[in-house]
Structures are given as structure tokens and as C-alpha cells.
A and B are shown apart, each in its own frame.
Chain A
């Protein structure tokens, strides 16, 4: 099976702009999670989707949003970018079912976002 893919791999934006990142999960995986990784804060949970429904959301401002499509592909959007949004954004898919503990997560290579 093909692994989790994320596009684009690298992105440079300026403050105030918005950005959309894309994630294609492993075939058959219906759960997709997003994480932000920075040197200062480490890995932080953004949100998780299962069958097009947001299952949970981390402690991030409303500028961060996401969605999941019927084919389980997911996108996340960050509006009004700030310098502090520069980070590696990681997507992970799994076979985790709603309401059950998280199984092994399969991570994509990430999108490195730089905000100037």
C-alpha cells in the first residue's frame, strides 16, 4: 500500500496570507489527524477527522481549520498567517474507530511551512 502523502512538501508564505495543506491517507484508513511540530512547543495535536466528521480539536485558534472528504483525503487551512505558524505540519492516518483508543498512526513526511 502507498503511504500517507502530503502536499506540498515545502511552502513559503507571508504574514496575513492563508494556506491550504493536503493529506492523502493510506487506502482504507478513515481516521486522519493533523499535528503541528515546532522546536519550542514540540508536537501538538491540531484535529482529527473520521468519516468526514471532526472528532476532536486541539487547543489552537479558529484560524486553523480542516475538513475531510468522502474519500478520506483531508485538508487543513490556516488563515491570516502569523510568524509563529512556521512549523512542520504532519498528517497521520490510522484504522482507529470513533470512540475507541488510538491505534498505530501512520505519518506522512510533513509540509514545512515558513511564514515571512
Chain B
């Protein structure tokens, strides 16, 4: 079953603009991770944020986590054509006894 739900399902912006994707989940978590997938290939890990963290940065990426609202957001600044991909949030819960639970993803298109 899906735990995380990304919003929007699809997003198209111009190169250079910022892209924001949101993720909501249902149960308590140990951590939340964001992954990128290009054209049905393997996923690439972007960033992991623990349940006791509120914000994390990595290069052009900024992730926030609000455990009271059970939501997270991924911001990509100064987007590039190479950022075109699907982005998934994944939650780790259940004391580490379950696998990651992925949302259905946001498909991001960067227009040159």
C-alpha cells in the first residue's frame, strides 16, 4: 500500500525556475527519503531527512519535514533540463522492520 503521496502528479516549469514537490504520509516515520528516477531506470537517492530534523540542504536541493502535518517538501532551485525526471518520496517506519514505502511520484519536466 502507498504511504507517501506526492503532489503534484506532474509539474512543468521553465529552466531556471524553482520546482517544489510535496509529499504526505500516513503513519509515524523514522526517516523520509527522496529519490529521482530517469525514464524507467533505477532510482537515485537524493536526500534523507530524519524524523527529528526539520530541514536539510544538499546542493540545489532543500527538503523540509513537518511531522505534525505528516508532510515533506522537496525544492529544487535554479532548475536545469537534466532535472527532468520522476521524483519519489519514501518513508521508513515500523521500527526498521519494513521496507521503504514509496509514493507514486511527481513527474517533473523542465522546459529549455
Residues of chain A having any CB pair with chain B under 8 Å:
4, 33, 35, 37, 42-48, 55-56, 58-59, 88, 90, 92, 96, 98-110, 112
Contacts and interface: CB of A to CB of B under 8 A. Distances in A.
Contact of A88 (B35, B40, B88, B104): B40
Residue with the greatest number of chain B CB neighbours at <10 A, chosen from A58, A92, A105: A105
Contact of A102 (B2, B31, B43): B31
A101 B40 contact: no
3 closest A-B pairs by beta carbon, nearest first, are: A45-B99, A101-B30, A43-B102
Interface residues of B, number: 27
Contacts of B67: none
Main SS at interface, chain A: strand
A42 B2 contact: yes
Contacts, number: 73
Contacts of A33: 99-100
Contacts of B42: 4, 90, 107-110
A46 B101 CA distance: 11
A100 B40 CA distance: 29
Interface stretch (B10-18, B71-79, B90-98): B90-98
Contacts of A55: 97
Residue with the greatest number of chain B CB neighbours at <10 A, chosen from A4, A42, A56, A100: A42
A56 B98 contact: yes
B96 A102 contact: yes
Contacts of B31: 101-102
A90 B41 CA distance: 9
A51 to B, nearest CB: 15
A106 B92 CA distance: 15
